[in-house]
Amino acid sequence: MYNGTGQAKSIGDKAKKELGRIGENLVLCRYVDRGLKPVATNWRAGAKAELDVVVYDEREELLCVCEVKTRSISGGRAAPDIDPSDNVNARKRMKLRYAARAFIEKIPAYAEKNVRFDVAEVYNRDGAYTVSIIENVF
């Protein structure tokens, strides 16, 4: 498969992207089930950063930005015993803050709202998904 950059793109990259999209959709559904309003998914701040899931909590007047990490686990392996927030390093947090500022500049209706950053971990074990959301990670 060709990605337009002069390099071959493996089939695994396509499957990984699809797995990520599934995880993001599951996280969005979890927020909606909690009563939060969907605002955006996969919102890009240029080539530098992307916001996976953005929702709004009308009760708290809170804009919530969620970074989603989706992993496949095969066979009898257990889910890694690691906090999902460990997967979001200082550089990634900086990019998320940058993208959130760009988002608010683009959609000023959220300029006076508080912002919360969450991290979600989604595990796929042979087609069975589990979702864990950690709120207010940074």
Domains of the chain: 11-134 (3.40.1350.10)
Q: What is the pLDDT of residue 75?
A: 63
Q: What count of other Cβ atoms lies within 10 Å of the Cβ of residue 120?
A: 25
Distances (CA, A) of 25 to 66, 76, 101, 104, 110: 12, 25, 23, 22, 22
Q: Mind listing the pLDDT tens digit for each residue in 71-82?
A: 888 766 666 666
Element (H, E) at 53: strand 49-57
Q: Answer yes or no: are the C-beta atoms of 117 and 134 closer than 8 Å.
A: no
Q: Answer yes or no: are the C-beta atoms of 84 and 92 closer than 8 Å.
A: no
* 26 pLDDT higher than 90: yes
Q: Look at 67 and 75; give whichever has higher pLDDT.
A: 67
The pLDDT-based confidence of 98 (bands split at 50, 70, 90) is: very high
